[in-house]
Each structure stands twice: as C-alpha cells, then as structure tokens.
Copies of this chain bind each other. A is one copy, B any other.
Amino acid sequence: MFKKVILAEDFQGENHGIAETLYEKLTIEELQNEFYCDKTFTRLKVALKNKEPYELLVTDLFFEPDHVDRKLTSGSELIEAARVLQPGLKIIVHSMENNPIHINTLFKEHKINGYVCKGRNGMVELVNAINEVFHNRTYVSPQLNLTAANNAVELDEFDRAILKELANGLTKKEVSDKFKKENRTPNSESTIDKRISRLYDEYEAKNTTNLLFKLAKEGKI
C-alpha cells in the first residue's frame, strides 16, 4: 500500500472524515491532510526535495476562498502544478463535480488516476479507488457515465466570451461593439448571431434566455 499520502480538502468535516477513514481502512504510514492548495503544493515540493516524495495526492476541486491569499485556487491548478513537479505522482480527485465533461478533461489533460464523487458512498469508493490506483489501474465512481458525455460539444473561447456578456445582460449589438472596442476578433453582429444560433442547435435551446439558463443550470458557465 502507499506509504506517504497527502490530502487536500478545504471542508473541515470532509477532511477529518477522509483522514479517519484512511487510517482505519488502509495501512497508510504517513497521511498529511491540508486545507489549502498552496500548502499542499509546498508539502509536495519539500518532500520531493528531501527525497521522500509523496506517492498519492487526494484532492478536492473547489476550494472556498477566504482571507488567505492564494496562488493555486483550485484542485485543477494544484494538479497541473503537481504533475509538472512530480510526473509519477498518483492523483485521485474527490469532489462534488459530476459533469462528465469536466471529469473527462481531468483524465485527458491532467492524467489523473482516479475520480470519486463525494456522496453517500464516498468513503467506500475512495478506499476502492486508492486500492485500484495502487495497482496502477484507474478508478471512476460507478454512477458516472463518462462515455455518454462525449456527444456534448465543448464551448470554445469565442462561445464563452459571447455567453458571458449575454449573461451580463448585454444585447448582441453591445457585445459586438464591446469586442470591436477591445480589438477582439471575430466581432461582427452577424458572426455573433451565427455562433449563438449554432449553440441553439447544439444545446437544443429555443432562444438566448433558454440557452443561458440551461448552461447555467448545467454548470457550464
């Protein structure tokens, strides 16, 4: 089993619960639990420098901001930094996120080794995930159907830029003007129209209001 494990989880309750479970159910010699991404990353760096690197990182995705300044503000950023620092590190994400697209991205771009949904069965799954990852396999919470999400289309930067302004209540004309003023391209009203129309098709939305509402509800924007 893993000897050195580090846990990044900002919720005090979850953090204690996970730590408790890992001590009880797994024979992990050294478990460090942290509440901030930056401190977690520092621990990883120091451990590596001392030639006693951590073998497994278990991290949440969302970290509530508070009075403490931060460089790394999310689990994704922590993972990205950790991957550069220590490519061989095993990483398991434990989060409420249940959008298959986002989770797929984590596997594809950050090469995470496991994904566990917080929930009624979270601790049981986490223990399973750690066992699987220890044996060089990947683990994904069974309630997630990652393959089913591949038909959905990702929003590109232009889409996001338009949607952001529409969400703020700008008209298409105002969006076009704003883009022109900021020297962003494309910026014509027609092109913006066309993009939005395409999104109607892709997301089966009837109008702008419907589109923004759907995307907001799905957590895509």
A residues within 8 Å of B by Cβ?
10-18, 20-21, 35, 64, 66, 94, 118-124, 126, 166-171, 205-210, 212-213, 216-217
Contacts and interface: CB of A to CB of B under 8 A. Distances in A.
A41 to B, nearest CB: 17
What is the copy number of this chain in the assembly?
A: 2
16 contacts: A11-B122, A12-B21, A12-B124, A13-B94, A13-B126, A17-B18, A167-B209, A168-B206, A168-B210, A169-B207, A171-B207, A208-B209, A209-B209, A212-B212, A216-B216, A216-B217
Q: Identify the interface centre among A17, A21, A118, A166: most chain B CB within 10 Å of its CB.
A: A17
Contacts of A17: 12-18, 20
A21 B10 contact: no
B123 A12 contact: yes
> 6 smallest A-B Cβ distances: which pairs?
A169-B206, A17-B17, A169-B210, A16-B17, A13-B17, A216-B216
A115 to B, nearest CB: 15
A215 to B, nearest CB: 9
A4 B21 CA distance: 24
B216 A213 contact: yes
Nearest to A21: B16
A168 to B, nearest CB: 6
Nearest to A10: B120
A14 B209 CA distance: 37
Contacts of A94: 13
A216 B221 CA distance: 11
Contacts of A212: 209, 212-213, 216
